[in-house]
Amino acid sequence: MPVGAPPASRVLVVEDDPGISSAVALELGHQGYETLVVEDGSAALAAWSDWGPDLVLLDLGLPMLDGVEVCRRIRAASHTPIVVLTARGSVQDRVRGLDAGADDYIAKPFSLEELLARVRSTLRRASLRDEGMVLSVGAVVLDARSRIVTCDGAVVPLTAREFDLLEFLMRHPGVAHSRESILSAVWGYDFLGGSNVIDSYVRYLRNKLQAAGNGDLIQTIRGIGYALRAP
């Protein structure tokens, strides 16, 4: 590495299939990432604590301790980005992973190009999060490090995906976003659920913000999508 160059991002690969883990680690290494591979949940928590990765690629079907529990424990202690690996078509697995605090998911079988895109996107979002850790619009305050949202000092309970959506909108206050642009930024470029999922999550967010007295914060922009604007 040249003198003065930034250190390579560290990626912890947690996967009990050696064929998958070796291919992923090899490709990540070719792209300049440092990698460490472990095969079970207990080893994953130890490696995360000792090695301090910048991102965790986490299979959900692990021995010793399953990936959902590993995700929960990491998220309870830090904001380390987590991309979960799930069986294709297993919607329940994806939901469980995201609700446990994962930042993104990729379904098996996947292409290495897609995986690299997910890694780059997730690290980029984490970098933006670190640049502006506390955001506020009106009475709503979002702490990106602790992933806590408050309104007039009271905590607003959000799921991981609701938090990510609100964070995206709060980082671009006043900007009208199409459903497609929100889907790409928050869910990932190849999410299979369609843009209607945006309407559902905006409704969830509005309901929770309404209960906290800020239901008008997210506005519908006719013919475009949504914008976050202080009343």
* pLDDT (0 to 100) of residue 21: 94
Output the six-digit token pair for 58: 């986490």
The number of residues making up the chain comes to: 231
Query: When comparing pLDDT for 9 and 125, which is higher?
Result: 9
Confidence band for 5, pLDDT divided at 50, 70 and 90: very low
Query: Mean pLDDT lowest for which of 54-58, 113-117, 121-125?
Result: 121-125
What SS3 state is found at 55? Answer: strand
What SS3 state is found at 83? Answer: strand
Measured from the Cβ of residue 89, the count of other Cβ atoms closer than 10 Å reads 11
Assign domain 132-228 to a CATH class. Answer: mainly alpha
For residue 65, pLDDT over 60 is answered with yes
Q: What is the mean pLDDT of residues 27-37?
A: 94
Domain residue spans in the chain?
10-130, 132-228
Would the pTM count as exceeding 0.85? no
* pLDDT (0 to 100) of residue 118: 86
For residue 125, pLDDT over 80 is answered with no
Domain 10-130 has CATH 3.40.50.10260: no
- The percentage of the chain sitting over the pLDDT mark of 70, rounded to a whole number, equals 90
Confidence band for 2, pLDDT divided at 50, 70 and 90: very low
Report the alpha-carbon distance of residue 192 to residue 203 in Å, rounded.
20
